[in-house]
């Protein structure tokens, strides 16, 4: 199963992580490229969500980076 979550703030990030931990492949989208970059480096920017939780789903491949930036429309690295 695959899903996309638009907005990775205080609602979208925990929702994304819960889906990813339950085995759903999640494509996380946000207009803030810095948030998307931090997440895909395994870093959390929300204090009650440990970076290790983020890193775990990134390593597992269930939390994925979009191929196209939601902001610029350009391909992401």
CB 51 within 8 A of CB 45: no
What is the spatial order of strands in the sheet that 25-29 belongs to?
Answer: 2-6, 25-29, 63-64
Full pLDDT tens readout for the chain, 77 residues? 999 999 999 999 999 999 999 999 999 888 888 888 899 899 999 999 999 999 999 999 999 877 555 555 665 56
If you count them, how many residues does the chain have?
77
Place of tokens 């931990």: 21
Which helix (H) or strand (E) element contains residue 35? Answer: helix 33-40
CB 25 within 8 A of CB 1: yes
């Amino acid at each position: 199963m695959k899903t996309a979550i638009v907005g990775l703030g205080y609602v979208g990030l925990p929702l994304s992580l819960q889906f990813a931990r339950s085995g759903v492949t999640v494509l996380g989208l946000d207009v803030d490229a810095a948030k998307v970059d931090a997440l895909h480096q395994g870093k959390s920017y929300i204090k009650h969500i440990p970076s290790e939780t983020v890193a775990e789903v990134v390593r597992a491949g269930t939390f994925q980076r979009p191929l196209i930036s939601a902001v610029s429309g350009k391909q992401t690295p």
